[in-house]
Amino acid sequence: MNKIKTFKIDENKGVISKKLVEINISQFHIACEFISELPYKRNLDKNNIKCVFEDNGGTCSTKHAVLRKLALENNQENVKLILGIFKMDPEYALSIKDTLNRYQLKYIPEAHNYLKIENQYCDFTTPGSNYEQFENNILQEIEIEFNQINSEKISFHKKFLEKWIIEENIEYNLEEIWSIREQCIEDLQKSNQEQICTNYSEEDVDSNSSPICYQNSPEVRDEYK
């Protein structure tokens, strides 16, 4: 994990600060490490800012939202929550190549959440996540708030896709592209699960595997439900 600017967590500043201090986490960089190590899983209520604690895990959305909320509680405005749209292509994950070829697509724009701390981009989705893994595939980035990871994220993603379909003369409509996207995610999940079953270590994961949102998570499609 890259070294980041840290700060002391004041337990009296808010609900997230209090929760972390209760479990003996008093520094921001330790909180980031703790959140990244929580299992990647669907949350029962993404509108509940404490859901990563109650569910013992979270997605790229809920994990980074809680870190943004923590920063705000401690007057650290330099910690920004970013929504990025990136090219999900075979270079990103070889396992989606057949699906993209079947529909004659070079890539599909996908959404991902992460942090920008001053001028440093940080991805705490999993311990192995790294912004550099998808940096060159970024199509657009916007800053959002911790309470905008649900319907607002989906709406922005779909509006981006609608514009992309027109500008790139894509022969499919939004509903069809969304369905193809879901198939790509299923491909990623299948590849990741096969690697788990063969007991590959993290260092052994190859280009078939997704380094971002879908690692070890058969429930990831529900991120958008």
**DSSP output for 159-174:** HHHHHHHHHTT-SS-H
The model's confidence at residue 213, banded by pLDDT at 50, 70 and 90, is low
Task: Determine the average pLDDT of the residues in 187-207.
Answer: 53
What are the residue boundaries of the structural domains of the chain, listed by start? 15-217
d(C-alpha 201, C-alpha 215), whole Å: 13
Question: What's the predicted TM-score (pTM) here?
Answer: 0.84
Query: Which phi and psi angles does 203 have, rounded to 5°?
Result: -70, -20
- Sign for the pseudo-dihedral over CA of 143, 148, 153, 159: negative
Query: Which phi and psi angles does 117 have, rounded to 5°?
Result: -110, 105
pLDDT given at position 191: 67
Lookup result for tokens 């996540």: 129
Q: Is residue 195's pLDDT more than 80? A: no
Residues 10-24 pLDDT 10s: 999 999 999 999 999
Residues 25-67 pLDDT 10s: 999 999 999 999 999 888 999 999 999 999 999 999 999 999 9
The model's confidence at residue 188, banded by pLDDT at 50, 70 and 90, is confident
Q: Which residues contact 54 (CB under 8 A, 6 or more apart)?
A: 44, 48
The model's confidence at residue 190, banded by pLDDT at 50, 70 and 90, is confident
Task: Determine the average pLDDT of the residues in 99-124.
Answer: 96
100 and 107 Cβ atoms separated by less than 8 Å: yes
